[in-house]
Structure 1
Amino acid sequence: MSKQWMPGLSQLIPYQREHLSGDLTSGLIVAVMLIPQGLAYAMLAGVDPVIGLYSVTIPLLVYALFASSRHLAVGPVAMVSLLVFSGVSALAEPGSPQFVAYVLLLSLLVGLIQLVMGVMRLGFLVNFLSHAVISGFTSAAAIVIGLSQLKHLLGVPLATHEYTHQLILEAIGRWREIDPITLALGLGSIALLVVLKRVTPRLPAPIVVVLLAVVLIRFFNLDQYGVSIVGDVPRGIPGFSVPDLSMEAVQLLLPTAFTIALVGFMESIAVAKTIAAKEKYKVDPDQELRGLGLANIAGSFFSSMPVTGGFSRTAVNYQSGAKTVLASIVTAVLVIMTLLFLTPLFYYLPHAVLAAIIMVAVYGLIDVREALHLFKVKQSDGWILLITFFSTLLIGIEPGIMIGVAVSLLLFIWRSAYPHVAELGYLEQDRVFRNIRRYPQAKTFKNALLLRVDASLYFANMAFLENKLEHYSQERPELQWIVMDMSGVNDMDAVAVDALEAVMDNLKQRGIRFAFANMKGPVLDVVHRANWNNKVGKHLYYMSVAEAVEDLGLQYAP
């Protein structure tokens, strides 16, 4: 039971001592990276920066014990932080006690949803978030995140707007109020972060920038010249508290909780699987859901915002030599030590620098190449990406991803309702049957039609197939046989069986009979139960189209 529910223990008991050096090193490096990120993402979510540090203590320890990934670094991430702000700011004023209470309740709801999904083995549901939807949503959300930090970068108290264009217009209209020192500090931090990342990628650039900014503010007293700073950061670890479980608040937060649960899991499982493949071990999606769910549930009782696995810090954790979950435990312990002894160091930390850290972190999420790639490979996927992108950017975060999912599902339904149906002809040189549209030189038959259906047949697409068959029968009055190549049909439901049987009976009265080739076992089982072996006879069992053509004595058209 402990290995099934707590796979992290199997990495620690017994522990292999040769892993200790890598785990300690990576735990230290990720902690140094997480501290400024935690502060920044908490600010993005609209809560006190210290909550960002609380979010990488208890949740990280719980995840380490209950998850199957050895390398995933859990904590606040930009995407989830934006979803938190977007969902909760509509209910309460950001930063207010009520806002914080809603955030803690949101953590609990996200955790419960993920835990239930994991217990019920519903990890497959994340597959409904197609790659095109996620790419479009992520790119748009990155822009929204960047724009949300304009007020800190410019030093102008911009209002919270529902739509991004309203924020841009207000910022342009208030350009005279821009604080030059704040702007210079923010732009300088962005430039330094980019340069350090390119020149010394192993160096924890955010902590370097944070330390330099704190020294600069303290030495030149820039906080007295209009530069906004974090101020007092509470010392000590968070105490135990129970989120407010009012039914009204639960109902209001549920849509946001479901979105965060799915998007957060999608981000986590993607990076966890990538690292696991490189290290040749398996990640259990359902166990990951349970691990993330328990981490969020536990965190909600210790002042944590919703957490999930992050791309960048997981990559750093792996590259720094992490071998087991001990690295995550070391990270959590170091953050706890920071909370106990080092929080006064962050007093002079400027909000502009935290904004710079966020902007640089999300810049890489804008993926233009992927959009071009999808349009090149499959235009419909490219359009889904664009629809999701502009919906998220112009309408909002949650409506954007919902529209993207709805459009992708509608496209899937449309494709299944209008399956590909190919008329086959014979290529003498290759002795194979192929689609005559792709191979115009393929020979067709005088009194027969060879059709291949490339989809399972069910109630939603039978009307389309019926119309196809009717069209062919009217277009070719000489038709006597329709040979159905069933190699692309993996399943048939009862409606499809009855509908196709009705078509066969109708066309039989006009002198047209049916034969079937390449019918798979599961489909044969279905039609046997419908007594087709008596209705169709031996013409149901052809092993290939060539066998059917030969047995029926079909002749090529001149």
Structure 2
Amino acid sequence: MNKVSPDSLRADLFAGFSNAAIVVPQGVAFATIAGLPPEYGLYTAMITAVVAALWGSSMVMISGPTTAISALLFATLQDLAVPGSAEFIQLALLLTVMVGVFQMLAGIARLGGLVSFVSHSVMTAFTAAAAVLIGVSQLAGALGLHVEGGGNVLERLIRVGEAISETNMSSTIVAAVSLISVVILQTYAKRSPGFLIALILGAAVAYAMGGAEAGIAMVGELPSAFPIFAPPTENLNKLADLAPAASAIALVGLLEAISIGRAFAVRRHEKFDANQEMIGQGLSNTVGGFFQCYAGSGSFTRSGVNAEGGAQTPLAGVFASMFLALILLLFAPLIKFIPVPAMAGLILFVAWRLIDRKELHHVITTSRPETVILVLTLGAGLFIELDFAIYVGVIASFAVFIYESSHPSIVVSAPAVTKSGRRKFRNADTHKIPECPQIVSIRIDGPLYFGSVDHVEEEWDKFRAARPNQTHVIFYLKGFGKIDLAGADFLIRHIREIRAAGGSFRIVALFPPLLQSLRRFHVIEEIGEDHLHISKGEALDAATKELNNDICANCKKRVFTECADLPGGNKA
């Protein structure tokens, strides 16, 4: 909250007010998906958002009911009780408390660090897939169509396509007015409450065209009741039965929230603490379960509206809940006049702005592994399910991490003259740099462990086959941090091989933990302290003293500055 200022308060108030208007139909829709009465979606949007905003880590993410969790909750409980019944509601609230406890325990255990292994491309693709899904889900409302909800992007598009002949032009015009209005306002009047103004304009146009009589869908009347403290004390005998589902929903909720939080943090250049967000999400669900809320998480739609509305701090989420309560208290009778197409137009704009086209292009044009991750995640989000896309992205990220760690870069380097006149070691093969006939300098960038030894062995064999006479080896491990018993065995085996061929083997290493590992695995004992160096220069100086002077006398390459002191050199 250290960023709170008069300017940020004004921005957060505007964003919170716009967000409160957006969440009314959304909360009703998600509660219906979950098999709960409509008011439970609003309770969740109200309570969960406040707790998660105050205890989470994201500056702009808004929590509340989500599509994925609503669907998971319904699928979990539909066989245990009749959807909408008192027992179903009690099970949903009990499940929500369990979800919150699991999430808080994960945060306290600091499992958020595991998210660091998830590629940034997963976040970019997940954001894009969610934006497309959100946009496609609004097409029916914008066109005035009555189609079945749910499903992936392709399934939703097919349903819209099959019903396209039933398009209501009045609804389409209302959606277009709201969409065009918000585009203009967000482009040329960014400090104005563009979403609210666009919503009012859309409602005015709908009213002028006849409203519901013209076939324009309205949000409809909603109960104005507020959540009360109601601990879910019933069905405690079903805790064991609910535990597997609670853990699954907890995981999906955390992945959603962390993915959304990190995506916005990256875009806005802000810090994000996954562990703190886990605790915030867990606390919001735990508290929410005692106040008639069902399981929630970060909402892409509400977070997008919040960010586009100019939110600066988590107070925007608190204000959104306060305004939502105020709307239900003072304007509940007027809510029924909000046109669904106007809401759809605004959300279409949010969906478009959520897609980071520059970052998508950057990933595709710069990294093949990241592109694979991006395509797999995006494809799963578009054509399977959004929550499944997270799993696909996580698995793909770990697969790429494992592949890259098992394929460290290993190159032969040699000194080349730079533009400044200094000599700097470069990749000898890539830059076609002359090499010393007797010394080969090999650098490995990455871990030397059981997973990478086979790859390093293959590269070593290639280097040795191409350079049979370069029997004095400088193995450069500077900046290298990981070696295990398999890596140590590799070094010992080739130290002995090189010495048997009449050469010498020197290791350049500086990192203290690496030196400890080399001693523990007896590598230094094998090579000798005098063949362990802290710099290439020191290693070269020692290696040149063991060269065959007859070869040096006839050598014209003079690769190293030390060559000047050898037979045939300028100082010889």
Q: What TM-score range do you get, normalising by the shorter chain?
A: 0.7 to 0.9
1:39 deviates by 1.8
- In the other structure, the counterpart of 1:370 is 359
Structure 1: state its 5+ residue gaps.
1-7
Secondary structure, counterpart of 1:335 in structure 2: helix
Matched, 1:524 2:509: no
Of structures 1 and 2, the larger Rg is shown by: 2
Give the Cα separation in 2 of the matches to 1:446 and 1:226. 86
1:119 deviates by 1.1
1:110 deviates by 4.9
1:537 deviates by 1.0
Asked if 2 retains the 8 angstrom alpha-carbon contact of 1:82 and 1:145, the reply is no
Structure 2: state its 5+ residue gaps.
558-572
CA 1:101–1:346 in 2, change beyond 3 Å: closer, same or farther?
farther
Q: Percent identity?
A: 24
1:419 deviates by 0.9
Give the Cα separation in 2 of the matches to 1:49 and 1:153. 22
Give the Cα separation in 2 of the matches to 1:326 and 1:146. 27
Give the Cα separation in 1 of the matches to 2:266 and 2:358. 22
Give the Cα separation in 1 of the matches to 2:187 and 2:90. 40
Give the Cα separation in 2 of the matches to 1:406 and 1:33. 37
The one of 429, 435, 457 equivalent to 2:427 is 435
Number of residue-to-residue matches in the alignment: 529
The one of 244, 256, 259 equivalent to 1:251 is 244
- In the other structure, the counterpart of 1:120 is 109
1:313 deviates by 1.8
Give the Cα separation in 2 of the matches to 1:406 and 1:461. 20
Matched, 1:35 2:24: no
- In the other structure, the counterpart of 1:265 is 258
CA 1:471–1:496 in 2, change beyond 3 Å: closer, same or farther?
same
Matched, 1:494 2:485: yes
Matched, 1:504 2:495: yes
Give the Cα separation in 2 of the matches to 1:465 and 1:501. 14
- In the other structure, the counterpart of 1:5 is none
Deviations along 1:203-241, one digit per CA (max 9) or x if unpaired, are 323333444455555666532343322222111211234
- In the other structure, the counterpart of 1:97 is 84
CA 1:491–1:49 in 2, change beyond 3 Å: closer, same or farther?
same
- In the other structure, the counterpart of 1:445 is 436
Deviations along 1:472-527, one digit per CA (max 9) or x if unpaired, are 33443334222101114112122211232233334544445421123422111112
1:259 deviates by 2.5
Secondary structure, counterpart of 1:421 in structure 2: strand
Give the Cα separation in 1 of the matches to 2:170 and 2:224. 29
1:163 deviates by 3.8
Asked if 1 retains the 8 angstrom alpha-carbon contact of 2:18 and 2:196, the reply is yes
1:149 deviates by 2.2
- In the other structure, the counterpart of 1:415 is 404
Structural mapping, 1:450-461, within 5 Å: 450-461=441-452
Taking structure 2 as the reference length, what is the TM-score of the superposition? 0.81
- In the other structure, the counterpart of 2:66 is 81
2:254 partner amino acid: A
- In the other structure, the counterpart of 1:306 is 296
Asked if 2 retains the 8 angstrom alpha-carbon contact of 1:38 and 1:75, the reply is no
Matched, 1:354 2:343: yes
Structural mapping, 1:218-297, within 5 Å: 221-242=210-231, 247-252=240-245, 254-269=247-262, 271=264, 285-297=274-286
Deviations along 1:518-547, one digit per CA (max 9) or x if unpaired, are 342211111212333332113432222232
1:92 deviates by 7.3
Secondary structure, counterpart of 2:354 in structure 1: coil
CA 1:150–1:246 in 2, change beyond 3 Å: closer, same or farther?
farther
Secondary structure, counterpart of 2:430 in structure 1: coil
Taking structure 1 as the reference length, what is the TM-score of the superposition? 0.83
Give the Cα separation in 1 of the matches to 2:92 and 2:170. 33
Deviations along 1:91-116, one digit per CA (max 9) or x if unpaired, are 578x9527877875675455334312
- In the other structure, the counterpart of 2:469 is 478
CA 1:430–1:72 in 2, change beyond 3 Å: closer, same or farther?
same
Secondary structure, counterpart of 2:217 in structure 1: coil
Asked if 1 retains the 8 angstrom alpha-carbon contact of 2:416 and 2:426, the reply is yes
2:285 partner amino acid: N
Asked if 1 retains the 8 angstrom alpha-carbon contact of 2:143 and 2:172, the reply is yes
Give the Cα separation in 2 of the matches to 1:100 and 1:204. 37
Give the Cα separation in 1 of the matches to 2:179 and 2:99. 33
Structural mapping, 1:116-265, within 5 Å: 116-160=105-149, 162-214=151-203, 221-242=210-231, 247-252=240-245, 254-265=247-258
Secondary structure, counterpart of 1:514 in structure 2: strand
Asked if 2 retains the 8 angstrom alpha-carbon contact of 1:497 and 1:527, the reply is yes
Asked if 2 retains the 8 angstrom alpha-carbon contact of 1:272 and 1:283, the reply is yes
2:252 partner amino acid: T
1:312 deviates by 4.6
Deviations along 1:166-215, one digit per CA (max 9) or x if unpaired, are 33223222222223322332233222222232232223233334444555
1:75 partner amino acid: S
- In the other structure, the counterpart of 2:569 is none
Deviations along 1:334-392, one digit per CA (max 9) or x if unpaired, are 43233223211101223222222322211111222212112333233233222221222
Deviations along 1:442-481, one digit per CA (max 9) or x if unpaired, are x312233210001121110011112222333344333422
1:394 deviates by 1.6
Give the Cα separation in 2 of the matches to 1:167 and 1:540. 67
Give the Cα separation in 1 of the matches to 2:5 and 2:130. 38
Give the Cα separation in 2 of the matches to 1:286 and 1:485. 37
- In the other structure, the counterpart of 1:468 is 459
Secondary structure, counterpart of 2:442 in structure 1: strand
Asked if 1 retains the 8 angstrom alpha-carbon contact of 2:482 and 2:514, the reply is yes
2:431 partner amino acid: Y
